Amino acid sequence: MVELLWDGKYDAQGRRVAPLRLKLPFQTVETVNESAELRQRSLFGGARQSEWRNRLIWGDKKYVLPALLDEFAGKVDLIYIDPPFATGADFSFTASIPSIDGDEQEAMFVKAPSIVEQKAYRDTWGSGLDSFMRWFHETAIYLYELLRTNGSLYVHLDFHVSHYAKVILDEVFGSDGFVNEIVWQRISSHNDAKKYGTIHDTIFFYAKGPGYLWNQQYGEVSTEYTEQFFDQVEEGTGRRYARGDLTARGIRRGETGKSWRGINPTEIGNHWKVPPSELDRLDADGKIHWPKREGGMPRLKRYEDELIGRPLQDIWTDIKLMHNLSQERTGYPTQKPEALLERIINASSNEGDLVLDCFAGSGTTAAVAEKLGRRWITADLGRFAVHTTRKRLLSIPDVRPFVVQNLGKYERQAWQAAEFGGAERAAELNARYRRFILDLYGAREVPGYLWLHGVKAGRMVHVGPVDSPISPGDVTQIALEFRKAMGTGQDAPALAAVDVLGWDFAFELNEVARQQAEAANLTVRFVRIPREVLEQKAVDQGDIRFFELAALAVDVAQKGRDVTLRLTDFVIPPDDVPEDVQRAISHWSQWIDYWAVDWDNQGDTFHNMWQAYRTREKKRSGGASLQLQTAHRYEGPGEYTVMVKVIDILGNDTTKTVRVKVG
């Protein structure tokens, strides 16, 4: 066996390096289109196993795939992936600022990518091909384990690394697992200097076992095709037909190897495709073409008027990339046409089957699977990709319920243990973690406090834990300790201000902060710890940027059981936004791409019960203005917590809660 080797495949002792198997539990952060009945059952533990919910997962594939194994090993029917091609291309996304009235042209800008976004969108590899092959081999192993025995895998690549990928897939799936190399002609021409124009991608089709599911797909039949192949005309009926083989290669000893009508197929090393009794039936039905010359081989009549279509071959020239005005276009740089995924999903799955894509991108696989009645799981490392996919799914009429998940605190806990482990006590582990975050934030550690951990530019700094959000109770304790710290020693704060650093934040913190400020003349600023902290490359390069939380204002009007919400303001801290982009904003609503409401939040997760968002179609029809008001009628009296979620044009989310009392 020929084996492809790369740096890191084997350790110093010559042992194969196993892929990471850190199986972390998922956290559901949002449910979409969930019925009130299903929601109640899930809240009280009454949901049935059969009540499947499709999954949109935000997370790194290296964590997501092993996390799926516990529940889905050997249960996935079809996997399609469109991974990075190792081209070195930059696929960072371009954000747009919509006009207010839909008449003005949108302002466009390229968002400077973080390290995480580079990993998600930039097709680059730190150690060249060694990095790609190590990464792809690990991915292939996980995908093989997730597939059913009759499941199929489609891997979409191009000329850059497809030859390496095939060798790796042969190793994981076995050479017998290879079914097809599909050539997809994406465009009709490309002007490449000093070489033939590159106009195609490669899609490898692998099966986990010999009994893989297959539904024959057909393409359109051209006039040239029918004239060339359906060249016979039946006497009496005038029906055109083509002649097909009744034999196949190889000698058989059973019925299909016997002589029929004096014709012995074994003489030419063949056998009949069907038993002689079936041949008799076909002949009685007039379905056999008998040659005029003596000794000629009979052929099967295939009528033109019974032709479903032309069986698809392994070169696809009939599916082109979307044009700029295509309704399905999302603006995502690597988006594939729905027709391509429709063909693959129809060929290798049936209705109700489970389809997986761990490189969601613009969400094409999930959208097509949804429309075709398949169950689906899709994941992506990029926040913008997850948001694009969510919007796209919501545009599908009667989209079935799905959940948005991540690995959240569990991923951070694993990182903390790996990075700062070895401490004898949990307190020391947490202390090492806080010193690390303070250093990245540019703050100096201060001892002697429980809730105040550092100081920066005269402001005290609190570092939140990895496994829980910053809560109103935390803010209360920070404020109390701050008042004790005033004027005490060299580490006393110079300003009445605290920067509260956290991974996650309780939804009502903005209101709490204002109350604390009024009571103690204290300014509290909430700063998100970026996910880039978990990436060693980002730390090494010094590409760690902390940003203040956006501020959202909501007005509530109530009349009886009718409650109306209206967005009145939305402010993004300018740290991550170029000055020219800021100048293009004439109204605060231009920052908002999507917003949703959970009218009865139970403190478990965000349940999307209503949403409004911008789409390309709305923009083309002059409806770029976003609906900023919505209403709801409650069925019964009570006190309700209403949660509002806003997604800005950069893909970041901001939440706010309001409480209403209905009589």
Dihedrals phi, psi of 77, to nearest 5 degrees: -85, -35
User: Of 158, 139, 156, 137, nearest to 147 (Cα)?
Assistant: 139
Cα→Cα distances 648→82, 208, 352, 395, 412, Å: 27, 42, 34, 18, 25
Alpha-carbon span 85 to 88, nearest angstrom: 8
Cα→Cα distances 599→8, 628, 656, Å: 52, 16, 12
The residues with which 642 forms a beta bridge, in sequence order, are: 658
- pLDDT at residue 232, rounded to an integer: 92
Residue with tokens 């996980």: 142
Higher pLDDT, 394 or 509: 394
* Positive or negative torsion for Cα 610, 611, 612, 616: negative
Contacts of 13 (CB under 8 A, 6+ apart): none
The conformational region for residue 286 under phi > 0 = left, psi -120 to 50 = alpha, else beta, is left
Banded model confidence at residue 120, pLDDT cuts 50, 70, 90: very low
Count of Cβ atoms closer than 10 Å to residue 243 Cβ? 18
Over residues 476-496, the pLDDT tens digits come to 888 888 877 765 555 556 688
Percentage above 70 pLDDT, the chain? 84
Residue 21 has pLDDT above 80, yes or no: yes
In 216-297, the DSSP E strands lie at 218-219, 232-233, 240-244, 247-249, 270-272, 288-289
Least confident range of 26-40, 173-187, 233-247, 342-356: 26-40
HSE, side-chain direction, 13 A CA sphere, residue 422: 5
* Positive or negative torsion for Cα 192, 195, 196, 198: negative
Mean pLDDT of 227-241: 90
Q: How does strand 354-357 pair with strand 76-81?
A: parallel
**Is 315 within 8 Å of 323 (Cβ atoms)?**
no
User: Of 518, 542, 516, nearest to 462 (Cα)?
Assistant: 516
Q: How does strand 315-316 pair with strand 178-185?
A: parallel
Alpha-carbon span 479 to 519, nearest angstrom: 9
Residue with tokens 């604390």: 516
Alpha-carbon span 254 to 295, nearest angstrom: 23
The residue count for the chain: 663
**Is 608 within 8 Å of 30 (Cβ atoms)?**
yes
Over residues 592-640, the pLDDT tens digits come to 888 999 999 887 788 888 988 876 554 444 445 688 999 999 988 999 9
